[in-house]
Amino acid sequence: MKAPRGHREEGAALLAVLLLVALIATLAVLALDRLGLATRLAGNARAIDQARSYAYGGEALASLIAADLTDRGRGDMTARPEWRDAERVIPVEGGMIRARLSDGGNCFNLNSVVQGDVFSGWKARRQGIDQFRTLLLVLGVPQPRAQAISAALGDWVDSDTTTAPGGAEDESYARAAIPYRAANTLIGDPSELRTVAGVTPAIYKRVRPWVCAFNSAELAAININTIRPDQAPLLAMQFGGRLSISQAAAIIRSRPATGWESVEKFTADRLGGLANVTGLNPALDIRTRWFALDLDVTVDGAQVRERALIDAGIPPPRVVMRQWGAE
C-alpha cells in the first residue's frame, strides 16, 4: 500500500532540511577551525615580531658593550670578561633572551684575497691568497687542490676576467652543468665559497668554521688574547703552516690570565726564532674590531635566533650584518 502523496512530500522536505542543517553545521565547524588557525597564526606572528624587537634591543646592548671596550682601548674583551664567549640570560616580558658576545674577527676573511675598492676595482692580494692556501693545507687539503682553490678564490673576487695561474674565471664556470659566471666582486656570505671552482661539499664543510666574509677586503687580524685553542688552525695559518695545529693550540693554552700586553711580547715569549723568519707577515692584534653576537630569543612560545656582526672599527659601533635562523 503506497503512502499518500502528501506524506511523501513531507518526508522529502524533512530530509532536505536535515541535509541543509548538516551542511550548515559542517561549514560552521570549518569556519571555526579556520578562525582558530588564523588566530593562532596571528598570535605566532605577533610573538615573532616581539621576539625580533627584543633581538634588536640585544643588538643595541651589545653595541654599547663594544663601544665601551673600544673606548677603554682594549678591544680584546679582557676589560669585560663576563661577556667573552659566555652565555648571558636576560629575562624579558613573556620570555627571555640568551646572548653570547664573542670575537668575530678570529677567522679568515674570504674577501682579503683582494685589495682596492669599488671605484678603482679589486686586485688580487698575494698575502691573502697565500693565507687561504695555508689554511687549506693545515686543514688537510692536498697541496695541488689547495693551490688551485686559493687561486680560484682570488679570480672569483677580483674585478678582472684574466685567469690567474691555476685559477678559474668565466670560461671555467661556463662548462658547468648549469653555467654561471664569476662574481668579480666581494663575497656577501661564506656560503658563496661553494660556487668557487674546486670547492667540493667535503672541503666546504671542512673549511667553513674558519672563514667569514666581511664587507671589506681587509685582512682579519687574529686577536691573540681571544682566540680559543679549538681555533688553532687560524694561528697556524698566520705562520705559513710552520706551526702545527697542536703547537698552535699549546701556545694559545699558555696565554697569561690577563692576556699578552702586546703582539711583540707574544712573539718574543712564545714564537722564538719563528718570529724572525723572513717572508712571514702575520696579521695579529690584541684588540677586536669585529664582534659576533649570537641571540636566542623566546617569547610566548615563539623562538627567534639571530647572529649579528658588529663593526667597532669606526665609532659608534654598528651592526653591519645579521642572519636569522640557522645557516
Q: For the purposes of burial, counting CB atoms within 10 Å of the CB of 300, is it exposed (0-12), middle (13-18) or buried (19 or more)?
A: middle
Q: Residues 271-325: pLDDT tens digits?
A: 766 655 545 678 899 888 899 999 999 998 889 999 999 999 888 899 999 998 8
Assign residue 140 a region: left if phi > 0, alpha if psi is -120 to 50, beta otherwise?
A: left
Nearest to 241, CA basis, from 104, 118, 125, 138 = 138
User: So where are the chain's domains?
Assistant: 42-104+290-324, 108-285
Q: What residues does 90 pair with on adjacent strands?
A: 97
Q: What is the pTM of this model?
A: 0.81
Q: What is the CATH number of domain 42-104+290-324?
A: 3.30.1300.30
What CATH number matches the domain at 108-285, 3.30.70.100, 3.30.420.40, 1.10.40.60, 3.40.1370.10? 1.10.40.60
Mean pLDDT of the chain: 86
**Cα–Cα distance between 144 and 254 in angstroms, integer?**
34
Report the range of poorest mean pLDDT among 183-187, 206-210, 240-244, 272-276. Answer: 272-276
**Cα–Cα distance between 53 and 50 in angstroms, integer?**
5
What mean pLDDT comes out for the span 83-110? Answer: 88
Decide: 127 and 135 in contact? Cβ < 8 Å.
no
pLDDT at 9 over 70: no
Residue entry with cell 636569522: 324
Decide: 207 and 104 in contact? Cβ < 8 Å.
no
Q: Residues 233-280: pLDDT tens digits?
A: 999 999 888 889 999 999 999 998 888 888 888 888 777 666 555 456
Decide: 135 and 206 in contact? Cβ < 8 Å.
no
Q: What's the DSSP call for residue 196?
A: S
